Amino acid sequence: MAENMGDRVLKLRKRLGLTQQDIADLLGITPQHISRLEKGFGGLGSDLLVRMAQELGVTTDYLLTGIRSTEETIRNSLLGGIRRDMTRIRKALEELKDL
């Protein structure tokens, strides 16, 4: 069976060590939406597709087709890593406030 966008999202998310909740928080959607997408039952609008690609460090072309562009992938990977780090830092700061 051919790999679809949901398969690619799942693979990338796991490779980055992110949960469905992490991705949902980054995109402002529910973890259930991510779950449905990964199972092949849902989709993304163009705005969410672009943001998802940025957060996962790939191009929209890769999410849609599985074809990578080296230059864009490197750039998006760096930006995605910075965004994920900032999200983790924000979460840690919120937890510290609760102490």
Closest CA to 59 of 43, 80, 44, 39: 80
Question: pTM of this prediction?
Answer: 0.68
Residues 33-66: tens digit of each pLDDT: 999 999 999 888 999 999 999 989 888 989 998 8
Domain count, the chain: 1
* pLDDT tier, 78 (very low <50, low <70, confident <90, very high otherwise): confident
Report the pLDDT value the prediction gives residue 48, as an integer from 0 to 100.
94
**Res 12: pLDDT:** 94
Structural domain boundaries enclosing 39: 5-97
Mean pLDDT to the nearest integer, 79-88: 83
**CATH label of the domain that carries residue 56:** 1.10.260.40
Are 73 and 60 within 8 A, CB to CB? no
